[in-house]
Structures are given as structure tokens and as C-alpha cells.
């Protein structure tokens, strides 16, 4: 194993953020509470090393944090948006300084490759840059009134407290997507991280706390609430939290959406993906190979945008699958902090069990293994979390193909007709996050992107299903939840719209010509 993964080295890494072996996971900013709730043990899937213990929030601490954030909101919303943007700009600068260290922590605690850990921190930096510009562009519309001497316009105001529930696979980036935008919009944020990656959240809170302190940002603008599932339950049922942004499984999202809607709150849901790449007979197979390979094995298949299905035209099916099998034979699996490796471990053994169950189901349902899967054994894989990326020749109607398995399993299938047939196969799943087509034919491309084409929130041409850019709105349709984060006008979900009418005349025209003899 790489010397970078030695527990002593990680302990040294954590010291720069003043994170001790046992640390509170509850903070209102620069102030850390005791953490009187349950204890979370952070264990690396890389080598099984115990990284630390994080103490979660009690109900009393949760209520204290929320009250502090509500008080902070009263001041924070009155700061000019560009001034809030300046604070976020400084956060981005601090992230640049901590990029290597935070990237290592992400890699070691979560298990993704070091390169991907660095990429995740870069996403944080990028959203800060985006949010800084956005802080001067929170614009509404001006409209002509039907009444004389009147003017109408729309403006946007902050909502208040934004609850953020994040998953283990992107332990820092998704939080930043929400917070950077929410902060420049004038909101305060409450973050419930995954219990599988709590140390990453402590590092982020330590970095932002220093920035907030030197800018005299009120305590409570950034609240951290580690803990068990019950902490998230408190948040989603709390009427004091008008918006819940939740990332996770479709099952989790349905529960969150139901609870929040019952209190007429708002939900931003980023849920499951069952993403496909269509490879037409007019595709550049070299481009398609690179896109499919990274999309399928990146983060060991633990991305919501992971490529899970390849829909390949029969004319190129044999040639492409031969290239694909050969490429899989060159994958290096192991310590993710060793930059020579392409694939790290799954997050834990429960994820491994789900992977094995999916392969078993695929065989039972008639799938044929083109690249055999399995759990890797030996001293370098002692955690039992390292698995072989698998490729399964499958029928699109197989039940297991319709599901999302958070692991590196790629299903390949063929089509024989025109691109409309392939699009129908792609769309015939419950999820609708990301999609891609590989083609050099403009007509095929336009059909894929048209109203009768891909039904996903993301539709790409000649690039893979993963690797979304900050500038575009990120999210999907159907059981993916319908939410949008990050770029474009996604900022509007963190604000409330207000329509204003101004009468600068000397009379008050009433509706339907009504008059009062006054």
C-alpha cells in the first residue's frame, strides 16, 4: 500500500484542521458543540484503518444550532449580495490552498482515486468562482403594466435555512454546490453529511470557519450536523427549514419528498441514475471506448452519473465489445492514493454484497459475462471492499438491468434498427439522470437531443455520462427526482420570487372598473 495511506499520515493531515482522534461533528461555524448524540466511527475502505470517531448531534444541540442559524439569517440576508460573494471568493481561495490535503482525505475516507479526490475539490473551487459572479446577477424581470402610471417587476429574496443532506460518494463537492449558491443568495445552511464520510465534513467546516471568522460572518450561517439517520429526520420534518436538498437513493428521496411536501416545504432531490450510452454504427469507436470505460469504472461505479448500460448497434457490436474487453484487461485496481491505479474500493462490505447480488441476478436472468467480476483477495485487498469491474451481455428487459447497482457493473446490449430504437431502449427505465450518444451523424444527434429523444436531465453527444461541468444545471427527471443544482439558473431554488407593482400616479385604478364614491 502507498505510504500516503498510513493512519499516522492521515492523523498528521487532520491536525492542520485541528481535528482530533475523537472530535465533535456539530458546529455553528467557529464554535464546536460537545456532540452529545451518537458516535460515528470513520473507517477507510482502502486498508481498513480507523481514521477517527465523530460525535453526532443530540436533539437539544440540533435545536440550538437551528436557533443560531435563524438568528444569523436575520443579519446575513441584509448583507449586499456582492459582499456575500466576496466571502465565497475567499472560501475558494482557501480551497486552492487545501486542495491536495482535502483531496487525499476524500480519497482515503471514501475510497475514490486521488486524482478523483483532487477533481472533487476542484469542483468546489469552480462553484465558488461561479457563485462569486452570480452574486452580482441575482436579477429579476421588469414588465409593462396594463394600468397607466404603474410599473411591475419581479425580484428574488432568500428563503432562510437550507437543509443539505449529502451522500458518501461525493463527500464535499455536493455540499459546496448547494452552500456556495445558498450563501450568495442570502440563505444559511445546515449540513447533514453521510455517516460514512464524516471527517471530510469536519475539514470543510474548519476551512470555512476561518474564512467566516476573519470576515465577521455571523455565527450560524454554516451549520454542521453529523449524526445518525435521525438527524436527517429532524431536519426534513422541521417547518423552520423551508428547503431540503437531498442526494441519495430513489428510496430515500421518496421518503424525503413525502415528508417535506406534507409540511408544504420545498425539496431539491438528486437521486438514482441508470445511465446509458448509445453507440451508433456511425460512432467514432475510439472516443466511445474512452468515454464508456471512464464512465463505467470511475469512482468504482459509485457515481449517480456512472455509465451502467451500453446500447450498441449490431453493425459495430462485435468490434466495440472486443475493444472494451481488452480495455478492461488493462485496468489496475488497488490503493486509490497510488496514482498508477484506476479503480479503488467500494465504500464498505454492504456495497460489495449488493454488487455480488446483482451479478448473481444477472446470471440467473440470462446475462452472459464478457468480463468476470468478483471480490479481490490478498494482502493488498484485506478490507474485502475491492471488486473487479464486470461487463455483462444482457437483455434490456432484464429486471436487474432496470435497477441501479452502485458498483462497477456495465450491461451491454445491441440494437438493430435506427437510432429511435436505441433511444426507446435508453428511456425504458425509471431513472432519468444522464445519457449520451456516440455518433458522427448530425441527424442522429439532433434526434437524440430533440423533444422525442433522451428523457434525461443531461444528454451528451460524444462524451460520456459523467463529468458534468459547473456551468450547467445538474439533475434529472423521473425517479432521479427532478432537482437542479450548480449552474445556469439553479440559484432560483434557493430563493423566493416576489412580484411587485408600483403606482407612481395620482389615482388607484381598480379591477373590473369598480369605483367607490369616496
Average pLDDT over residues 361-376: 98
Task: Copy the grid coordinates of residue 2.
Answer: 502507498
Q: How far apart are CA 424 and CA 413, in angstroms?
A: 13
Average pLDDT over residues 214-232: 98
Write the pLDDT tens digit of every residue in 423-461: 999 999 999 999 999 999 999 999 999 999 999 999 999
pLDDT category of residue 3 using cuts at 50, 70 and 90: very low
CA dihedral 321, 326, 329, 331 (to 10 degrees): -90
Q: How far apart are CA 173 and CA 200, in angstroms?
A: 10
Q: How far apart are CA 194 and CA 118, in angstroms?
A: 19
Check if 204 is active-site. no
Q: List Cβ neighbours of 261 (8 Å cut-off, separation of 6 or more).
A: 267
Q: How far apart are CA 386 and CA 382, in angstroms?
A: 9
55 Ramachandran zone, left/alpha/beta (phi>0; psi -120 to 50): beta
Q: Which residue has the cell 471568493?
A: 89
The string of DSSP codes covering 382-436 is TTS--B--EEEE--TT-GGGGS--SSSEEEEEEE-S-HHHHHHHHH-SSEESEEE
State the chain's mean pLDDT as an integer.
96
Answer whether residue 359 shows pLDDT above 60.
yes
Check if 304 is active-site. yes
pLDDT attached to residue 468:
87
pLDDT attached to residue 7:
56
Q: How far apart are CA 138 and CA 413, in angstroms?
A: 46
pLDDT attached to residue 4:
44
Q: Strand, helix or coil at 498?
A: strand
Q: Which of 128, 200, 204, 304 is catalytic?
A: 304
Q: How far is CA 322 from CA 289, 319, 329, 417, in A?
A: 10, 5, 11, 21
Of residues 323, 319, 373, the one with CA closest to residue 343: 373
Q: Which residue has the cell 449488493?
A: 354
Write the pLDDT tens digit of every residue in 156-197: 999 999 999 999 999 999 999 999 999 999 999 999 999 999
pTM of the complete model: 0.96
Q: Which of 219, 270, 479, 485 is catalytic?
A: 270
Of residues 435, 351, 437, 361, the one with CA closest to residue 401: 361
pLDDT attached to residue 12:
85
Q: How far apart are CA 129 and CA 131, in angstroms?
A: 5
Of the candidate ranges 148-152, 210-214, 502-506, 513-517, the one whose mean pLDDT is the lowest? 513-517
Task: Copy the grid coordinates of residue 509.
Answer: 385604478
CA angle 79-82-83, nearest 5°? Answer: 50
Number of CB atoms found within 10 A of residue 430's CB? 13
pLDDT attached to residue 8:
61
Amino acid at each position: 500500500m502507498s505510504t500516503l495511506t498510513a493512519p499516522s499520515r492521515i492523523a498528521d493531515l487532520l491536525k492542520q484542521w485541528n481535528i482530533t482522534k475523537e472530535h465533535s461533528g456539530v458546529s455553528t461555524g467557529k464554535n464546536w458543540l460537545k456532540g452529545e448524540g451518537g458516535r460515528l466511527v470513520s473507517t477507510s475502505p482502502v486498508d481498513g484503518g480507523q481514521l477517527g470517531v465523530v460525535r453526532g448531534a443530540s436533539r437539544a444541540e440540533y435545536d440550538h444550532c437551528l436557533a443560531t442559524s435563524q438568528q444569523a439569517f436575520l443579519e446575513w440576508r441584509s448583507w449586499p449580495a456582492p459582499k456575500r460573494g466576496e466571502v465565497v471568493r475567499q472560501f475558494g481561495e482557501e480551497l486552492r490552498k487545501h486542495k491536495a490535503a482535502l483531496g487525499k482525505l476524500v480519497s482515503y475516507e471514501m475510497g475514490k482515486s486521488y486524482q478523483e479526490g483532487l477533481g472533487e475539490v476542484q469542483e468546489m473551487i469552480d462553484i465558488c468562482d461561479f457563485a462569486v459572479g452570480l452574486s452580482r446577477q441575482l436579477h429579476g424581470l421588469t414588465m409593462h403594466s396594463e394600468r397607466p402610471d404603474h410599473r411591475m417587476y419581479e425580484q428574488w429574496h432568500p428563503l432562510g435555512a437550507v437543509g443539505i443532506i449529502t451522500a458518501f460518494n461525493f463527500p464535499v463537492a455536493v455540499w459546496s454546490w448547494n452552500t456556495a449558491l445558498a450563501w450568495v443568495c442570502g440563505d444559511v445552511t445546515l449540513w447533514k453529511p453521510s455517516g460514512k464520510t464524516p471527517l471530510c465534513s469536519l475539514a470543510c467546516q474548519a476551512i470555512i470557519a476561518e474564512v467566516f471568522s476573519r470576515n465577521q460572518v455571523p455565527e450560524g450561517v454554516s451549520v454542521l450536523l453529523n449524526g445518525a439517520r435521525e438527524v436527517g429526520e429532524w431536519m426534513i420534518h422541521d417547518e423552520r427549514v423551508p428547503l431540503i436538498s437531498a442526494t441519495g437513493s430513489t428510496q430515500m428521496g421518496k421518503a424525503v419528498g413525502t415528508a417535506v411536501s406534507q409540511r408544504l416545504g420545498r425539496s431539491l432531490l438528486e437521486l438514482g441514475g441508470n445511465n446509458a450510452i448509445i453507440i451508433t454504427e456511425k460512432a467514432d469507436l475510439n472516443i466511445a471506448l474512452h468515454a464508456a470505460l471512464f464512465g463505467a469504472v470511475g469512482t468504482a461505479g459509485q457515481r449517480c452519473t456512472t455509465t451502467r448500460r451500453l446500447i450498441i448497434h449490431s453493425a459495430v457490436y462485435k468490434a466495440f465489445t472486443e475493444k472494451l474487453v481488452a480495455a478492461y484487461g488493462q485496468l489496475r485496481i488497488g490503493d486509490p492514493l497510488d496514482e498508477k491505479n484506476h479503480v479503488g474500493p467500494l465504500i464498505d462490505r454492504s456495497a460489495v454484497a449488493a454488487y455480488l447480488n446483482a451479478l448473481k441476478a444477472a446470471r440467473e436472468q440470462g446475462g452472459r459475462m464478457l468480463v468476470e467480476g468478483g471480490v479481490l483477495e490478498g494482502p493488498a485487498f484485506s478490507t474485502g471492499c475491492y471488486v473487479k469491474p464486470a461487463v455483462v451481455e444482457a437483455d434490456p428487459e432484464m429486471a436487474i438491468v432496470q435497477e441501479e447497482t452502485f458498483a462497477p457493473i456495465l450491461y451491454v446490449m445491441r440494437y438493430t434498427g435506427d437510432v429511435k430504437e436505441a433511444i426507446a431502449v435508453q428511456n425504458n427505465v425509471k431513472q432519468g439522470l444522464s445519457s449520451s450518444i456516440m455518433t458522427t451523424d448530425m441527424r442522429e444527434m439532433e434526434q437524440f437531443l430533440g423533444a422525442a429523444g433522451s428523457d434525461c436531465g443531461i444528454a451528451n453527444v460524444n462524451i460520456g455520462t459523467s463529468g458534468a461541468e459547473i456551468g450547467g444545471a445538474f439533475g434529472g427527471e423521473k425517479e432521479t427526482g427532478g432537482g437542479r443544482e450548480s449552474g445556469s439558473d439553479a440559484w432560483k431554488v434557493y430563493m423566493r420570487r416576489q412580484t411587485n407593482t408600483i403606482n407612481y400616479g395620482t389615482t388607484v385604478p381598480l379591477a373590473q372598473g369598480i369605483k367607490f364614491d369616496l
